[in-house]
Structure 1
C-alpha cells in the first residue's frame, strides 16, 4: 500500500516510477526501497552498480522494532541509504543516533473516505488487520466477557488468519462469545465501510511502525482505542486519552466500557482525533515526498 501510494504521488509530481518486488537491475536516478531487511540485497546491488545514485529507505515497524535487533542487514541497509523515511516521529528514538541526520518523517495519507452513521442498537467496535502474533489479535475479543452485562458493545474483527491456529481460535471465539464476529479478509473498500460506521476502532498491536489503519481512522474521524506502543503514540500523539498497556485485557475492557458509557469521554476522543486529521492530508504527504526527492536529485 505504501509503495503504490508513493508511486501515485511521484506520478503527480511528473516523475516516472516503477513498482517491483526487487530491483530489476535497470538504471534509475533514485532507488526507493521499502523494508530494510527485505530490500537489503536490492540496495546493495544498486549501490554497487550506481554508487553515486541515491537510495531512499522506507522503514517499517518490523524493521524498527524486530529486525533491527536480529539482523545486521537492516543496519547495513541504513548505512547504504542516503535518506531514511519513518512513518511517525516516535520511531526515530528507536534507531541508532548515527543515522538520525538521514531520517525524515513522512506521515501516511488517506483520501476520500467519509464517516457514516454508526448503529443505534449497539456500540460497534472494529479491529482491523491480519491475524498474526505482533498484532495481539485476540486481546480485544478476550476483553469482551469483562464488560458489564448491560453493555451493548459488538466487536467485528476483519483480517486474514495468518496461521491455522489463529483461524481455529477466531472460529472458536465466534462460537462462544456472542458479542464477537470474525469476517476474515474483505476487500479494502468493504473494510473501510465497516471502519467508517464504527463507534470506535481498536488497535491492539504489541509492535507497529505506524499502522495505516490508524491513519484511516483519524482521517475518517473514528475514535481509536490503542495499545500504548511508540507506533501508535507517534500517530495519535502523547496526550491522546485512550491508551492501554499492550496486552492488558482488563485495561482495554475498562477503556471500551468508558467509551460506550461515558458520552463526555467519547466526545473527548472525537475531538482528540479531529486535532490529528491534518497529518493524514494527501497534500502533506505529497509535499514531503517532493521535498525529499528534490533534496536528493541535484
Structure 2
C-alpha cells in the first residue's frame, strides 16, 4: 500500500479550487471555475528583488489553486478577469487602465513598504490606486494604521510564506557567522551591520556575510570599500534566492536594518529556518514579529546593534530567547497559511 500523503499536503489540498464555477461566479469571464489572473510587478518577474520573489510565489499559489496566471511589469490589455498589482504608486498606470477598460472586474492592490510609509503620504497616484482597488493586501498586521477608514475596510493581511532550503549546511566553526540579506539601496540601510561590527572587541569571532545586489554605483563602491577596510565584513554580491536562503539557514544570526519595510521576506525566512534575527524597530517588522520582540534595535542604531551582536555571540540564552520569540509565529509564515489566505480572498470576491 502506498504511503499516505504528508499532513501539510492534505492541508493544502483542501484549499485547491475544485468546485463549480458558481464559487467565483461574480468574477466575470470564468471558464469552468478558472480565474484568469494577471500580476503586475514593477521589477521583472523571476528576479531577486522582494517584489519579484513575491509575485512569482503568488503566481505559483494561484496556479496551485487551479487558476491561470500571467505576470508582467505592466498590464497591456492582456485578457484576464482579476488584476493583482504590487506597488500602489508604481503600478498605478496599469491599475487605472484596467479599471477603465473593465469597470466590473476585480483589482487587488498589494502594498509595499514605500507605499505604506512614504508614497501614500505624498503621491496622488498611490492614493488613487487604493480608491480603484476592490481589495488591498498588506503583508503585516500594523499596515492598517497607515490607511483611512474606507481603505481599511478593503484591507486583508496575507503573510508571506517561506520554506527552508532544499540543502542545508552546518554552521561554520571558524567564525560566528552573521548574515545580511538585503539589496544595497538607501531604504535598506544595508551597511548598518558592517558599521556595528567595527566596534566589537578584538576577541569577537563575528563575521558579517552580506548577500545583495548593489542597486547603483554609489552603493557598489561603498560595499567594496567596506569589504576592503573592515575585516569582519564580506560583501558577496547578488545571489540567487536559493543561495541566499542557504546562507541564512547556516548563519548563527541574521540582521535586518531597513528604514522601512512593507513586510520583510527575510523575517519569514529566518522564522522558518529557526535563525535568530536582529532587526530595526519599524512598523513593518513589528507587524510580523510583534511589538515586544527582544531582538529590535532603533533605526540607524549602530551602538545598540553592536551591543546586541556582542550579546548574541556571548550569551547562548539570549539566542534561545530570540528563537523562542520567533517560534510562536512559525505557523504564520507557512505555505498552507498563505494559500488559505488567497483562497479566502478569492471567495470574498465571489
TM-score over 0.5 for the pair: yes
Alpha-carbon separation, structure 2, partners of 1:268 and 1:121: 24
Gaps of 5+ in 2: 1-52
Is 1:76 the counterpart of 2:128 in the alignment?
yes
Instruction: After TM superposition, give the deviation of residue 249 of structure 1 in Å.
Output: 0.4
Q: Does structure 1 retain, via aligned residues, the 8 Å contact 2:211–2:235? A: yes
Alpha-carbon separation, structure 2, partners of 1:292 and 1:64: 21
Is 1:6 the counterpart of 2:46 in the alignment?
no
Is 1:119 the counterpart of 2:172 in the alignment?
yes
In structure 2, relative to structure 1, the CA distance for the partners of 1:98 and 1:28 (3 Å cut) is: same
Is 1:110 the counterpart of 2:157 in the alignment?
no
Richer in helix (by share): 1
- What are the equivalent positions in structure 2 for 1:213-224 lying under 5 Å apart? 213-224=266-277
Alpha-carbon separation, structure 2, partners of 1:136 and 1:265: 25
**Cα deviation 1:209-251 (Å, max 9, x = unaligned):** 1111211111111100000001111111122111000101000
- What TM-score results when the alignment is normalised by the length of structure 2? 0.82
Alpha-carbon separation, structure 1, partners of 2:286 and 2:134: 27
Runs of 4+ in 1 over 6 A off after TM superposition: none
Is 1:152 the counterpart of 2:152 in the alignment?
no
Gaps of 5+ in 1: none
Q: Which residue does 1:92 correspond to in 2?
A: 144
Q: Which residue does 2:70 correspond to in 1?
A: 18
- How many residue pairs are counted as aligned between the two chains? 297
Instruction: After TM superposition, give the deviation of residue 261 of structure 1 in Å.
Output: 0.6
Is 1:166 the counterpart of 2:207 in the alignment?
no
Alpha-carbon separation, structure 1, partners of 2:149 and 2:298: 27
Instruction: After TM superposition, give the deviation of residue 175 of structure 1 in Å.
Output: 1.1
Instruction: After TM superposition, give the deviation of residue 112 of structure 1 in Å.
Output: 4.4
Q: Which residue does 1:30 correspond to in 2?
A: 82
Q: Does structure 2 retain, via aligned residues, the 8 Å contact 1:113–1:219? A: no
- What are the equivalent positions in structure 2 for 1:1-298 lying under 5 Å apart? 1-113=53-165, 116-297=169-350
Q: Secondary structure at the match of 2:97?
A: helix
Instruction: After TM superposition, give the deviation of residue 117 of structure 1 in Å.
Output: 2.3
Instruction: After TM superposition, give the deviation of residue 280 of structure 1 in Å.
Output: 1.0
**Cα deviation 1:174-225 (Å, max 9, x = unaligned):** 1111111011111111111111100011000011111112111111111000
- What TM-score results when the alignment is normalised by the length of structure 1? 0.96
